Amino acid sequence: MRIIIYFFSFFLITLVLTSCSGKQYQILFEQKATNINPDTSQRSNGDLTSYHIKPQDLLQIRNLQNIKYVVDESPSASGTGGGGVAGTGQVYQVEEDGTIALPVIGHILVSGLTRVQAAKLIEDLYRKNLLKDPIIELKITNLKVTLLGEFKGQGNFPLVKDRTTLVEMIGQAGGLSDKANETNIKIIRGDQKNPQVTYINLRDIQSINDPRAILQNGDIVYASPNKRSIRNDNLQNISTLVQPILLLFNTALLVLSLSRR
């Protein structure tokens, strides 16, 4: 009987450790952050007009007045630094030296400029060298936000506007799942060494206008499970643990009973 008890205890501990391993993803985002930023006065407004273009960024450029001077009528996709078709504009990748190569005007330095500044620079250069009244539209197409946790859709979502709110991005993901805790949405921003974590309560109607909920490039948005979901998961884990334990214990008692006959 003592051997059975020892074996029973070892089996129980093994199952508990195994069940905990499935919670690592949730625990990763439940750990206490060292840099929590709930104060709107200590946080930038997140407007992407302040984003500075970097090497490897993808810029979609078109001239609204005369598109053929920026986008060929029959353009072909090319490699790094060249243009590729993307909707009604053409995409140019920023080179490592911070320049892009545009038709007629050649290489121009755009790294370090904001979207608006780069568009104005290209407008001025085309006006000086070729066009009378160009209207340049410039978009940065590689900016994105990552949604994880209790969303109906998870993954990377592009930032296509200068001011994309958390609510708009959740809408793009299909909304929150039934298991989501809408009072505890985390926006994780910054590098790995010094991340900033902001908590958003979507039950509060004021969160719609909260400047902290304006998303920036590279943000990770995590929706944690609600208490009911956690309780159901715990009950399911207990049930998963108890059933094989009871089966093992009954089998051991049956073997012991038969051995005494």
Range from 43-57, 64-78, 236-250 that averages highest in pLDDT = 43-57
Instruction: Calculate the CA 136 to chain-centre distance.
Output: 29
pLDDT the model gives residue 28: 47
- Show Cβ contacts of residue 250 under 8 Å, excluding neighbours closer than 6 positions: none
Higher-scoring residue by pLDDT: 103, 131? 103
pLDDT at 46 over 60: no
Note whether 37 and 43 are within 8 A (CB): yes
The CATH number of domain 32-47+143-225, selected from 3.10.560.10, 1.10.3720.10, 3.50.50.60, 3.30.70.1290:
3.10.560.10
Note whether 203 and 182 are within 8 A (CB): yes
- Average per-residue pLDDT for the chain: 76
Identify the bridge partners of residue 58 per DSSP, sorted by sequence position.
93
Using 50, 70 and 90 to split pLDDT, how confident is the model at 110? very high
Sign, CA dihedral 126-130-132-134, equals negative
Model confidence pLDDT, tens digit, residues 50-68? 899 999 999 999 888 866 6
Using 50, 70 and 90 to split pLDDT, how confident is the model at 230? low
pLDDT at 257 over 90: no
For residue 175, the tally of other CB atoms under 10 A from its CB is 12
Domain ranges of the chain: 2-20+229-259, 32-47+143-225, 52-140
Interatomic CA distance for residues 51 and 63, integer angstroms: 22
pLDDT the model gives residue 240: 67
Using 50, 70 and 90 to split pLDDT, how confident is the model at 7? low
Q: Do domains 32-47+143-225 and 52-140 have the same CATH topology?
A: no
Interatomic CA distance for residues 38 and 25, integer angstroms: 24
Beta strand 89-93 with 83-86 is antiparallel
pLDDT the model gives residue 239: 60
CATH 3.30.1950.10, domain 52-140, yes or no: yes
pLDDT the model gives residue 22: 38
Q: What is the mean pLDDT of residues 114-143?
A: 91
